[in-house]
Structures are given as C-alpha cells and as structure tokens.
C-alpha cells in the first residue's frame, strides 16, 4: 500500500480516481486546491503525488515547483493529472521535472496500473521511485 496525495479540484474526477486507487489498496488523500495540497504534503510527505494543472488558487505548475523545492519531496514521484491537451501537458511535465503524465478523463481499466508504474513496492514494504 502506498500513501498518495491527489490534488484535484474536480470532485467527480477526484472521487473516481481515489475510489479506484483505494480499491487497489492505496491510501489516498484528496486536496481540493493547491494550498490544501501543499499543507497536506508538508505535514506528511506521501509516496506519490497526482496533481492537476488547473487549480483554483495556486496553479498546478507552481504547486509542483514549490514541492520540488522541498527536500522531503525531491525524490517523491509527482505525476501530472490533467485534462489539458497532451502536448501542452507533456511540455509542462518535462519543464517542471515531473515523473509522468496521466491524461483525464481516465481509463478506469488502466488507471491503477498507470499509477503503479510510478511506484515500486519492494519486498520489505518500502516504496521506491521506478
């Protein structure tokens, strides 16, 4: 099981994604905006962050930039989770040093596998970045 923070303002999308991940055994905490996400992560750094780029307070790129400047978050996978066009999202993912991109709307059949790609569960239970 991995602890995952999902920073997503769209309630339907957050509900679906967190339900799928929870069913797969992950512990998911949802932040509804960038500020909440930063607070949540500062209190307890997760093993993976999924972050939307369009957020109502601080935009996703800035959230990612702030997370990457936190020592506890430098090795934690950050995955862009967005409905933005693939080319735009890819450019932002690369520029901001993210580990991956999952485009919304998600495919419910493959979403958990997509997320798990960014996590590697070792026999001793620790989680490493792939």
Partner 1 sequence: MTADPHQSDEQTRTASATYLPAAHYSYDQLAELYNQARTDYIVPMPMNGRRMAEYVRMYDVRLDESLIARDPSGADAGICMMGVRDRRVWVTRLGIIPERRGLHIGRDLTLALLDRGRALRATHVQLEVIEGNAPAHRLFISLGFVERRGLLVIRRPPAPSPGLDPAIGVIPLSDEVIAVCLGSRRDVPSWIDESASLLNGGGLVGWQIGTPDGRTGWIVARASAFQLSHIVFDSPDVQFTGLLLATLHSQAPRLDTNLENLPVDHPHWAAFQGLGYVESFRRIEMLMRL
Q: Which is nearer to partner 1, 87 or 123 (CB)?
A: 87
Selected from 30, 48, 50, 61, the binder of partner 1 by CB under 8 A is 61
- Report how far residue 40's alpha carbon sits from residue 59's, in angstroms, rounded to the nearest whole number: 16
Does the protein bind partner 1 through residue 11 (CB under 8 A)?
no
Does the protein bind partner 1 through residue 71 (CB under 8 A)?
no
Does the protein bind partner 1 through residue 27 (CB under 8 A)?
no
The minimum distance between CB 1 and partner 1, in angstroms, equals 31
The string of DSSP letters for 39-97 reads HHHHHS--SEEEE-S--SSS-HHHHHHHHHTSGGGSSS-EEEEE-S-HHHHHHHHHHTT
The minimum distance between CB 57 and partner 1, in angstroms, equals 5
Does the protein bind partner 1 through residue 102 (CB under 8 A)?
no
- Report how far residue 116's alpha carbon sits from residue 93's, in angstroms, rounded to the nearest whole number: 18
Does the protein bind partner 1 through residue 59 (CB under 8 A)?
yes
Backbone dihedral region for residue 25 (phi beyond 0: left; psi -120 to 50: alpha; all else: beta): left
Positions touching partner 1 (CB under 8 A) are 9-10, 33, 54-59, 61-62, 64-66, 68-69, 83-85, 88, 91-92, 94-97
């Amino acid at each position: 099981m991995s602890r995952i923070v999902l920073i997503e303002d769209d309630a339907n999308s957050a509900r679906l994604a967190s339900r799928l991940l929870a069913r797969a055994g992950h512990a998911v905490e949802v932040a509804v905006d960038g500020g909440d996400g930063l607070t949540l992560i500062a209190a307890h750094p997760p093993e993976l962050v999924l972050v939307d780029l369009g957020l109502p307070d601080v935009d996703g790129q800035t959230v990612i930039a702030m997370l990457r400047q936190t020592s506890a978050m430098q090795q934690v996978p950050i995955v862009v989770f967005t409905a933005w066009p693939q080319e735009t999202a890819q450019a932002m993912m690369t520029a901001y040093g993210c580990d991956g991109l999952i485009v919304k709307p998600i495919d419910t059949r493959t979403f958990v596998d997509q997320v798990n790609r960014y996590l590697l569960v070792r026999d001793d239970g620790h989680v490493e970045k792939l």
